[in-house]
Structure 1
C-alpha cells in the first residue's frame, strides 16, 4: 500500500476517534510531511479539506447509526464520498492550476480513476475490517460497562441489605464474598476474600460448629436447602449470630457444583429473643410465686391463660371451654355484678388502658371473698382491645382487719356522743313516764286520754328512731356498695347530728339538687360524716358552726395526676368547721392510725385513718384545707356511678292490714306478750302466747296455729331452735322472727335464709300487720 493510501486510512481513523480540530491537524500534518513541491502541498490541503467534509457528512447524517449493523456499509459510503465527491474535484482543479502543461480534465479524471481505484478498494477493505473491529470493540466495552454497572448495583444492594452473600465452589472450597462484610465481621473486603470453606468452619463458634458442619454435609448430600443459625467470629474476636441460608446448583450431569447463599446478622433478634425469654421466665416465676390470680386474655381468640393461683380460684384448667368472661361474671356477688361489669365494659369501649375495681367473688367452696382486680388493656391501631392482662388480689383478710378498725372507731365515736344520746333519750322518757302515770292514776275523758296517748307515742317513736340509728351505725356488717343518693343520706344523718353534737353547734346544709348517684356503702359514708362532724365539734370546743356541702365536680388531667385519680365526674362531699385549724407541721400525719392531737383518753387517733380507708375503698379522693384560727375544710370525692340511677319513690301513707287466723306469739318479755296479744286481737287474729320455746312446743301440740312470731334471743331454747321443733310438728307452719339486736353473723344468716321473715324491734303496728298479712296471704295463695 502506498503512503497515500495509508494517509487515507489515517484520515478515516481520525474521523472516527478525534474531534474536528484534532482531525484537521493530523490529516494536514500527515499529507504536508510528504509534500515535495507546491503541487503536492496543495494536494495535501485538498486531502485535508476532503477529509473534513467527509467528517462533517458522517457526523451530521450517519453518526446515529454508530454501533449498529449498518455501520460498515455507512463507512464504505463515506469512503466513496471522500474519493469521488470531495477529493476528485479538488485534484482536477489543482492540476489545471499548477501543471505547466495541463492535460484535459477528462484525461486527468481517467488517470485519477486508474491510479486511485486500487487504493480505493484497499481503503474500502481496510475501512470495512476496521469498522467491524471497532463495532466489536465498542460492543465489548459496552458489555463490560453494563456488567460493571450491574456488579456495582449488586454490591450496593447487597451491602444495603446488611447480608453477606457468598458463592461457594463445592469442588475447590473457594468462596466468593460480597455484601456488608465489614459491617458484620469487621474485616475489610480484601481480608475476607481469603476466607474459604475450611476457614469458614474455623470461624464458627466451637459450640455451634458440629451442628453447622453436619447440616451442611447433609444438605450437600441431598441437595436440599441449607439453613442454620450459629455464632460467627469477628475480627475483634467477638461473635455475632448469623442465619445462614443457602441453596445448591447442579450441572448437566445433575451433580452439585456450586452453592449460593446469604449470611444474615440476627444478633439483635437473638438478644430480643433472649430478653423475651428471660421476661417470660421472670413472669412465670412471679406468677408462680405470687398469691395473686394472674390472667392473660387474648381478645381475638377469646382464650385466657391462668396462673396456678387463678386456676385454683376458678377451679378450671389452663384453657376452659366456657366463655371466660361469663365464667368470671357469674362468680361476682349478685349485689356487685352490675356495677363491676358495667364499669369494665365502659373501660373496654373507651380509649382507656387501665381498669380496676373491688368486689366480692365466689370461691370454690361457695363462700365469698373480697378481691381487688386490675387489668392493663392493649389495643390495635383502631383502638380495639387485643389483649388484657390482669391480676386479682385477695383482700378478704385485709378487709376483716379494716372492718375491725372501722368497728373500733365506731365504738369510739359512740363513746364520744354517748352523753348527747343519753340526754335525748332521758328527755323523751321524761315525757313518757309522767304522762303514763297520769293516765294510770287519773280518770280522764276519752279526748284527754287520746291527747296523752299521742304524746307517749310521739316520744316513743323519737326514742325508737334514735335506737334504730344507733343500731345501724354500730352494727358490724360487711361493706356492701349500692346506688346511693348522698343528699338523702346527709338529710338522714342531720337528725342524728343534731342529737349527737349538742345545741351549741349550728349545722348548715348546702346540697346541690339533682346530684348524681354514687356506688357506696351508706353506713360507711354516714360514719365518715359523723366522724368529721364530731372532730369538728371537738376542734370548736363544743361551740361553733359546721357546714355540709355536696356538689358535682370534674377532675381534669392536671388534678387527676395530682391526686392519682382517674379523670371524670365525682360527687364531692365537703364538711367545714369554724374551729382552731390544723397546724401545718402535723398536716401530713393526720391520716396515720393512732395519731391524735387530743389529750390522752380523749381520742384513739383512728377517726381520720378510718375516713381515709373508707374513701380509698370507694375509689375516691380526700383533700384538706386548713388555716389556723379560721377552721378546716375536708373535701371527699366519690366517683359518679356508671349505672342507671333509680328515681326516688315517695312512700305511701301507712295503713294497718287486718286478717283472720291463729297466731302463736313467743317472747321472754311479759310486757311484749301482753301488748302483742292485744294488738293481734285488734287486727282480727286469734292469739296464743308462750314465754319460752318449751312452752311454744306444748301449745303447738295442743292448738291449731297458722303462724308463729318468735323472738330470736330467748334463754334456754332460742327462736331458731324453737322454730325447728315447731316445724317438726307442722312443716307448713308460717313464721316470723323479731329481735331488738342480734350479732352480725346471725343477722346475716337470717337475712340470707329467711329474707321475708324478720321484723326488727321496736316495730310499729303497721310494720307487724303488713308482715303477717304477707305471710298468710302467701299461704292462702298456695
Structure 2
C-alpha cells in the first residue's frame, strides 16, 4: 500500500513539474510573440505601414491601427470594400476595385501606388499591396496585404524629377552639348544640342548610337580613351573629335567629363560637355600649316635666310646659306657676321646694316658683293631678338622684268583679241547667215554674186577669228577625229607665206597614217609655233621637214622620252638650224626660257606646244645637235577605230523640223532674230529670250519646250551653263544646244563633258545650225 501511494505521488509530482515547464514555455512563447508584435508595430509606426485583410466569406475588411492613422480615421475595425474604396481619390477607385477583383477571381497579386483622401480633403500617396490566401483545400479564404504611406518618398521622387527637368532645361539652354553617364560609362543623358546637331533620335544615341556620329577615324581612339577613363576612374577626361552633322559634314568638338564620387571615393556618375571648336580647330590647323609651310619655305626658298642676335652672331641659317658659302650650319652658327663675311666691313653694306639696327626700321637695298654671283638684294628686318637678313641674287632680275612686261603685253593682247572675237563672231553670224538667206531668195544673178562675195568674206573673217582665238589661247580643247596629213597639206601654203622664201619646206607624209583624236585648231597653232621657232634658228635660210608616221608604244618599250603605252600619230618638225646646247635641252619647255637673243623671243612657244600636247593626252620630245639642227616630235593619240569622219555634202537637203518647240536664248538682238527666222522657216516653233532670267520665266510657264538653244556667255547674272542646269532641273528630258563666239567658258568643263555636249560655234550658217538642231532631236528620238 505504501508502494502504491509512493508511486502515485511520484507520478503526480512529475506531472505537476511537466505542466509547470509547459506553462513556462508557453509564457515564454507568448512573451516572444508579444515582443515581435510590438517590434512589428514599432516598425509599422516608424515605416508608416499597416496590414489589412478582406474576408471572402463575409466580404468585410479589417486592418491594423496604423492604417487608421495613415487615413486619419477613428477606430473602425471592419468595413466593406466599397466603404474602404471611398477613402481613395475618385480617379484611383476603379484601379483598386479592379485589382481586388482580379486577385479574388484570378489569384493575381497587386502592388499599386494610389492617392487617398485625408483630413481637410487633401490627398496623400500610399502603396497598396495585396495577395490571395488559400485554405488547405485550395479554397480562397481572403485577400490580405499591406498599406504604406509613401507620400514623402513620392514627394522626394517629384523633387528629383523636377531637379532632372531643371537640369535638362539648363543643359538644353547651354551653348554646347551636355551629357552624363553612369558609373560604368554608359550614356544616360544627352542635351537637345546633340539631337539637333546630328539629326539622330535621343533613344538611338543612348543605345551607344553616339559612337556612330563620331568620325570613323576618331571612333576607335574615343572608345579607347573613354574606356580607360572609366576603368581607371580618372579625375577628368578630355578629348577632341569630329561629330557628323545631319547635313553630312563634320565639326570638331572638345569633349570633357568629370566623375562624381561618393563618400568612399567611388565613382557614381559622370557629367560632361562637348564644345564646338571647329572654327578654333581650323584656325589652329591653318596656323600649324602656316608654321610648317614657313619652315619648309625657309629651307626651300632660293634666297639665303639669316637670323642674327643683337651682337650680330648667327642663330639660324637655311640650306641656301650653306650652298652659297659651301659650309655647314654647325660651322657658322654662333659666329659673327663680320667674321663669316669679312668683305662687308667698312663698306656701305655694313653702314646700312648698323643704321637699320640702330633705328629699328626695316630696310632693303641692292649691293654688289665679292664672292657672290653678281648683284645681291639685302632685306634687313631688325627686331627685339636681333636682326633677320634675306639675301637674294638679283642678277637676272632685269631680264625677268622684261619677260614679265612682255608676258603682260601678250596677256593684254589676248584679252583684247578674245573680247573682239566674241563680238565679231556675233556680227559674222548675222552677215554670213543673211548672205546665205539672200542667195536663196534672190533671182538676179548679179545680186546672187554679191551675196556670195559677202558670204565668202564672212567665212574668211570667221577663219581669221578662230586663228585669233587660238593665238590668244582662248579656245577650249574640243578633240575630234582628225586626218593629220590633210591638215598639214592644207596648212602648207600658210607656212610658206609665214616662213619666207629662204626656208625650204618639205612634207613627208605616211600614206597609211592613222586618224588622230585632237583639237584641229590647236594642232595647227602648235605646228605653226614649231615652224616659226625653226625659222628663227635658220636666219640665213635652211630646210624644214615635217614628217608623219604611226608609232605603237608597248609597255616593255615605255621609258623616257617615249610616251606612255598606246598608239600615236607622230609629227616631227626638223630644221637645219643652229641647234640647242645640251645643258639647255631640259629647260626648253619651261615658260620664258629661250636661247634667242634679247628681244627676239618670249620663251612661250615651246611651253604652249608642251601644254597643248600634254592636255591632249600625248607626249612631246626634242632632240638637238649644236650646228646641225633640231627635231621636235609630237605624239598625238590615235582615234578609236570606226570613227572616221564622213564628209558632209553641203548640197544635201537639211532635214526640216516636225513642229518641235525651241527656246532660243541670245543677248545679241540681230543674231537672235536671224536664228529664230532660220528655225521658223525650217518648220520649228520658236520662242525667244534675250537673257537667262527671261528664259527661265518662259520655261516655267511653257510646258512644250523640247530644245534649249542658248549662248554660253550672256549678261544678266546667269550664263548658258547655269541656265541649262536650272532648265534641266525643271524639265529633265529637255535637250540642250550651246553656242558661243568665245569658247573660253568651255574651259571649266571636263573633257567628258565637252565630248558629250551639243555645241555649235559662232559664226554658224543656216545648214550648220539646222544640222546641229536636228542632231539633238535625233539623239532624243534614239
TM-score w.r.t. length of structure 2: 0.36
For the pair shown, the structure with the greater C-alpha radius of gyration is 1
Bigger relative CO (Cα 8 Å, ≥ 6 apart): 2
TM-score normalised to structure 1 length:
0.36
